[in-house]
Amino acid sequence: MSDAPLSLFLRRHTIGMIGLAILVCAVGSALLAPWIAPYSPTKIDLMARLVPPFWVEGGSFKHLLGTDNLGRDVLSRVIYGAQVSLSVGAGAVVLGAIIGSTVGLLAGYFGGLVDAALSFLINVQLSFPFTLLAIFLLATFGGGFVPVVVVVALATWVNYARVVRGQVMSVKNQEYVAAALSVGVPTRGILRRYILPNTMSSIIVVASFSMAQAILTEAALSFLGVGIGGATPSWGTMLNDGRNYLQNAWWMTAMPGLATALTVLAGNLCGDWLQDRANPRLRK
Amino acid sequence: MSTHPVIKAEGLTVEFGGRRSIFRREPTAVVQALSGVSVSVDRGETVAVVGESGCGKSTLGRALLRSAPITGGKVLFQGQDITALEGEALRAMRRHFQMIFQDPYASLNPKMTIFETLAEPLRVHTNEDSKAIRERVLEMLEAAGLDRNFAERYPHEFSGGQRQRVAIARAAILRPDFIVADEPLSALDVSLQLQILKLFASLKQQFALTYLFISHDLARVFGFADRIVVMYLGKIVETGSAREVYHAPAHPYTRALIAAAPSPTSTAETPALKGEIPSPLNPPKGCRFHTRCPLAMDVCSQVEPRMTALGGQHSAACHLVTPA
Amino acid sequence: MSGMVLEVEGLNISFHGGSGTVHAVRNLSLSVAHGEVVGVVGESGSGKSVTMMSVVRLLDTRRTDIRARRMQLDGKSLQDLRSRQLESVRGPVVSYIFQDPLSALNPLLTVGRQITEGMRRHKGISRSEARRRAIDLLRRVGIPSPEVRINQLPHQMSGGMRQRVMIAMALATDPKLLIADEPTTALDVTVQAEIVRLVQSIQSERGMAMVWVTHDLALLAKLAHRVVVMYAGRIVEDSSAEQLYAQPSHPYSAGLLASTSRIDDPFTEQDPIPGTPPDPKVVSPGCSFAPRCNRALPRCLAEVPELSAMANGSRAACFNPLTEAAA
């Protein structure tokens, strides 16, 4: 029995599979960190400060990606950093999706004043410089996991709202919705069984792009010093720490930067792939 | 036992457009989809509404189900005036009248299984438990000519003909008092059209249903319907039993429709209708058909003809017909 | 130089999709003589439109596999033609009318522009001369005030008028063969009757050959000399129109005729053909219609019947036809 169908699948969906593979690695690192990280991310070893990665002169296999200014193993910190970045990303995506989709659903389905009010809200948010707001909020209320997740969710909910609103407006006019209305299905039933399931594919596409945006935003906030804080590093704090050592210890910034870039890329690739998957079926 | 017709429209008028918006100075153009239409359907009857584009037949079907905005006139369900019914009261009323749509590829929710689609009317309008609902859904599937095992599948796994069977089953599952079928055959292949028509007939017998059957295919409905209603540009021009209308069409438009229908054996030259169907935005004065009528007289462009009884169930709105 | 304006022999068309290969047309042979009107009737999945589109090379060759022993238009082989040479065939030899005039007409060009474009390209006449002829054509197809209409855009016209414009465009290059693919399906019945009458008069006036593709058997009665019935990618019956309506040979033709809505006989009980058309991805060893046929013999499930002569002059692909086979 040939494995033709599988290889055909992989060939056709290469882009998406690459993205998915990277994401799996990232999630895997986050979940298996205690077992795969060679060192504790906070273990300070002042005897091994600023050791370069193993392929550079002066490096060793003891610290594959080198160490930072406090002798902490960069590889371990990147692996553990995945935990923070991905959990903030996931939390923000879920929260943002819930807020944004609800707003989009209500605006799209009810139209009229509700739509006018909610669209106004969306436009206000869009025209406001988010970074400023984020810094202000976090500086006022302090850092920490929950505030950061909330702030990042606030950055991304608008994407969902706009897409869902448009999608709902088109679904609303489909004949199966008219059929459900003529059957006598009440409004909450229409929203729950007819509108929402048919906008799910758009929500998932936005979610994968948002995931990437969330991780980047968290990195930026940590870089600016208003991030999670605490002992466990995030890729953003690592970028921040490495700022002053760009000249002599480029790996302190490059490694978390690479991890961030790859994960964001993976998110976008998956998003693209899902988007392509969603459309041809509709066209059929 | 009610002696009222199941559904009745009295002087029904439906207009679209004409909404004023704060951003426009003049109101948008008003289209009169239905203009003073009166029709009734008795229990157990199959009434066919025929006509070409813009005649208002679809709008009539929807207005009778309170799915189109009514600008004037009344709709009576079993004698009860439901014209102004709204909100929860209207929603609850819907168990009594259902609709079957034209496009089988669009009228089923792609995210719901066939079972869920058929169970929906029962869940919304009855208090039956899941076991009873399951029974009724499977029974209905069989009655509609579908395999019971199809219940867990999704619409995209089925052909157009099968999907239409599901749509019909959905409309009939509550045993409603009245079903409006809006061009249910038009999107199907010829051989399937006849199959589905047979299904309509068998369900009608099995569940004692009453239909308003909207179609543009005159030939099909003659053999299927008890009564025919012919519409043109928002008005009824002729009505009567199928045989009355077929054997003695009184209105020139009805005659033109019959003559235009393709027929393998007739050799008669089809009389040409002048011009095109006028825009519903600006219907002709007097008799709306006069601009295309080969028999138009002066009075036709000035006075609107009234429905004249021609004996039996037959009547037509034309200045040329003489009452029985 | 053959006397046929269209000759197709052994045509096979298949599409390669994600879920399998669709065999749309199987071993089809069809010929149309000069001045002949042939009706091609079939339901969805019969391959009727695909066959005609392949004649004018309208199919996307990247995903379509088209093979034929012979495909000739007016004696010249179509198969070795390159795209540029194809242009000299489309227009002067063959013209195509589509089902939906709204999507087939360019919404941004005036009607006049679209008609004169083909004309000028193939005949090399001046702009004013082309315009004059276009106005004549519009008048001929029954469009009132053609001098005004010629400057209008498609969306400014009704469906029936747009279809008339399409006919005018198709006639502008004086083709020897006109292929009409369901041209009246989207029109009201009274408009359809007008268009049919118009096309008939033009056809007899110009002696043009015509292929009219439709799903409506009744429509072809007054229009076609010959009718070809297609089922699951094959021709199952090829007969004169009169013969087909009076005495169909193939059980599918009879079933289709019995299912067609007949204004001349609406009250007679009709019996539908049971079952559904076959999956075009599946290649069955025998006759594709056998599973639904009440005259099926064991042989029908094992062998594919070829078109063979019937005693009444028609041809049918059937091992147990309704009429007697030719001796």
- Report the complex ipTM: 0.88
User: What residues contact C30, with CB distance under 8 A and at least 6 apart?
Assistant: C6, C7, C8, C11, C38, C51, C228, C235, C238
**Angstrom distance (rounded) from CA A135 to CA A129:** 11
Contact B67, A182 (CB under 8 A): yes
Name the pairing type of β-strands B315-317 and C94-97: unpaired
- Please compute the mean of the pLDDT values over residues C6-10 and round it to a whole number: 92
**Angstrom distance (rounded) from CA A162 to CA A170:** 13
Residue closest to C3 by CA, chosen among C92, C72, C88, C81? C72
Tell me, what amino acid is at C104? A
Q: Is B124 on the interface with A (CB under 8 A)?
A: yes
Q: How many Cα atoms sit within 13 Å of B130 on the Cβ side?
A: 2
- Please give the pLDDT value at position A284: 37
Instruction: Check whether B26 has a pLDDT greater than 70.
Output: no
Are A176 and B98 within 8 A, CB to CB? no
> pLDDT averaged over chain A?
85
Percent of chain C with pLDDT over 70: 99
Dihedral sign, CA of B47, B53, B55, B59? positive
Of residues A33 and B65, more confidently modeled: B65
- Please compute the mean of the pLDDT values over residues A257-271 and round it to a whole number: 87
The interaxial angle of helices A175-183 and B160-172, nearest 10 deg, is 20
Q: Which residue has the tokens 């007679």?
A: C268
- Please give the pLDDT value at position B20: 54
**Angstrom distance (rounded) from CA B65 to CA B9:** 11
- Please give the pLDDT value at position A85: 85
Contact B293, B276 (CB under 8 A): no
- Please give the pLDDT value at position B24: 55
Report the neighbours of B using a cutoff of 3 or more CB pairs below 8 angstroms.
Answer: A, C
Q: Which secondary-structure segment (H or E) carries B99?
A: strand B97-100
> pLDDT averaged over chain C?
88
Token readout for C233 is 């990618």
Q: How many Cα atoms sit within 13 Å of A81 on the Cβ side?
A: 28
Interface residue of B94, B101, B120 to substitute, partner A, most A CBs within 10 Å: B120
**Angstrom distance (rounded) from CA B11 to CA B14:** 10
- Please give the pLDDT value at position B269: 63
> pLDDT averaged over chain B?
90
Report the neighbours of A using a cutoff of 3 or more CB pairs below 8 angstroms.
Answer: B
**Angstrom distance (rounded) from CA B101 to CA B107:** 7
Residue C182 has a CB neighbour count (10 Å cut-off) of 17
Are B260 and C267 within 8 A, CB to CB? no
- Please compute the mean of the pLDDT values over residues C316-324 and round it to a whole number: 91
Lowest mean pLDDT of B140-154, C157-171, C236-250, name the range: C157-171
**Angstrom distance (rounded) from CA A102 to CA A105:** 5
Distance from CA of B116 to the nearest CA of C (A): 25
Of the partner residues B189, B219, B275, the one whose CB lies closest to the CB of residue C215: B189
Q: Is B211 exposed, middle or buried (0-12, 13-18, 19+ CB in 10 A)?
A: buried
Instruction: Check whether C193 has a pLDDT greater than 90.
Output: no
Give contacts of C161 with chain B, Cβ < 8 Å.
276
Of residues A228 and A162, more confidently modeled: A162
Percent of chain B with pLDDT over 90: 75
Ranked by mean pLDDT, which of A7-11, C46-50, C116-120 comes out on top?
A: C46-50
**Angstrom distance (rounded) from CA C261 to CA C253:** 14
Under the banding of pLDDT at 50, 70 and 90, the label for residue A139 is confident
Distance from CA of C219 to the nearest CA of B (A): 5
Contact A269, A15 (CB under 8 A): yes
Q: What is the DSSP annotation of B218-243?
A: HHHHHHH-SEEEEEETTEEEEEEEHH
Instruction: Check whether C93 has a pLDDT greater than 80.
Output: yes
Distance of CA B251 to the CA centre of its chain: 20
Give contacts of C259 with chain B, Cβ < 8 Å.
190-191, 193-194
- Please give the pLDDT value at position B80: 92
Tell me, what amino acid is at A11? R
Contact B95, B174 (CB under 8 A): yes
Are A182 and B67 within 8 A, CB to CB? yes
Residue closest to A84 by CA, chosen among A148, A154, A139, A20? A148
Backbone angles phi, psi at C315, to 5 degrees: -125, 140
Contact A200, A104 (CB under 8 A): no
Give contacts of A186 with chain B, Cβ < 8 Å.
91, 124
Contact B195, C272 (CB under 8 A): yes
Tell me, what amino acid is at A283? R
> Over the stretch A213-224, which tens digit does the pLDDT of each residue have?
888 888 888 888
Instruction: Check whether C244 has a pLDDT greater than 60.
Output: yes
Of the partner residues B91, B112, B167, the one whose CB lies closest to the CB of residue A193: B112
Contact B250, B237 (CB under 8 A): no
Residues making up chain B, counted from first to last: 324
| Secondary structure class of C67 (helix, strand, coil) | strand
Q: Is A180 on the interface with B (CB under 8 A)?
A: yes
H helices of B152-217, in order, are 160-172, 190-207
Residue C120 has a CB neighbour count (10 Å cut-off) of 18
B139: alpha, beta or left? (left if phi > 0; alpha if psi -120 to 50) = alpha
Q: What is the DSSP annotation of chain A?
A: ---HHHHHHHHHTHHHHHHHHHHHHHHHHHHHHHHH-SS-TT---GGGTTPPPTTSTT--TTSTT-B-TT--BHHHHHHHHHHHHHHHHHHHHHHHHHHHHHHHHHHHHH-HHHHHHHHHHHHHHHHS-HHHHHHHHHHHH--SHHHHHHHHHHHHHHHHHHHHHHHHHHHHTSHHHHHHHHHT--HHHIIIIIIHHHHHHHHHHHHHHHHHHHHHHHHHHHHTT-S--SSS--HHHHHHHHGGGTTT-THHHHHHHHHHHHHHHHHHHHHHHHHHHHHHHHH-
Residue B29 has a CB neighbour count (10 Å cut-off) of 12
Beta strands in chain A (DSSP E): none
Instruction: Check whether A106 has a pLDDT greater than 90.
Output: yes
- Please give the pLDDT value at position C277: 85
Of the partner residues C144, C188, C216, the one whose CB lies closest to the CB of residue B262: C216
Residue closest to C260 by CA, chosen among C249, C250, C271, C247? C271
- Please give the pLDDT value at position A2: 43
- Please give the pLDDT value at position A283: 40
- Please compute the mean of the pLDDT values over residues B199-226 and round it to a whole number: 93
Q: Is B262 on the interface with C (CB under 8 A)?
A: yes
Token readout for A228 is 């999670």
Residue B219 has a CB neighbour count (10 Å cut-off) of 23
> Over the stretch A143-161, which tens digit does the pLDDT of each residue have?
778 888 888 888 889 989 9
Indicate the pTM of the whole model.
Answer: 0.87
> Over the stretch B236-249, which tens digit does the pLDDT of each residue have?
999 999 999 999 99
Give contacts of A174 with chain B, Cβ < 8 Å.
106
Q: Which residue has the tokens 């002709």?
A: B284
Are B261 and C216 within 8 A, CB to CB? no
The interaxial angle of helices C189-206 and B252-260, nearest 10 deg, is 50
Under the banding of pLDDT at 50, 70 and 90, the label for residue A1 is very low
Under the banding of pLDDT at 50, 70 and 90, the label for residue B23 is low
| Secondary structure class of C144 (helix, strand, coil) | coil
- Please compute the mean of the pLDDT values over residues C125-150 and round it to a whole number: 89
**Angstrom distance (rounded) from CA B276 to CA C8:** 40
Q: Is A179 on the interface with B (CB under 8 A)?
A: yes
> Over the stretch B69-95, which tens digit does the pLDDT of each residue have?
999 999 999 999 999 998 899 999 999
Under the banding of pLDDT at 50, 70 and 90, the label for residue B287 is very high
Backbone angles phi, psi at C12, to 5 degrees: -130, 125
- Please give the pLDDT value at position A282: 44
